[in-house]
Amino acid sequence: MEQEQPNLSYIHNMSGGDKAFEQKLIDIIKLEFPQEKEVYYDNLVAKNFKQTAENVHKLKHKISILGLEKSYEIAVAFEENLLEGRTDLFQQFESILNTITNYLQKI
């Protein structure tokens, strides 16, 4: 499956062309995403799946804002799996996180 790429379409649509607003939103994502990702990994390693599901829930919003529709669906399913104590979508979610991390380093 081809990995979909993050984009700023949602942010552009939401801002109505306000570049300062766009930059502020991007800066918030760049600040929060690595922190949320780190907490996610800490809980995953500790096998605290309920907390990990909450972390995925938070990350899901960033996934959505970055225009990743298929990835958002995977995140929803992964969150549900974690609540059932399953991690079978881990690899796919990991790939999404890596894609976003690489993208945020470039913008």
Per-residue confidence (pLDDT) for residue 106, from 0 to 100: 96
Do residues 2 and 68 lie in contact, with contact meaning Cβ atoms separated by under 8 Å? no
Q: How confident is the model at residue 3 (pLDDT cuts 50, 70, 90)?
A: confident
Amino acid identity of residue 75, one-letter, is A
Do residues 4 and 70 lie in contact, with contact meaning Cβ atoms separated by under 8 Å? yes
Q: What is the mean pLDDT of residues 31-52?
A: 98
Q: What percent of the chain has pLDDT over 90?
A: 97
Q: Which residue has the tokens 């994502």?
A: 29
Amino acid identity of residue 40, one-letter, is Y
Mean pLDDT score of the chain: 96
Q: How confident is the model at residue 45 (pLDDT cuts 50, 70, 90)?
A: very high
- Whether the per-residue pLDDT at 68 is higher than 90: the answer is yes
Phi, psi for residue 46 in degrees, rounded to 5: -80, 0
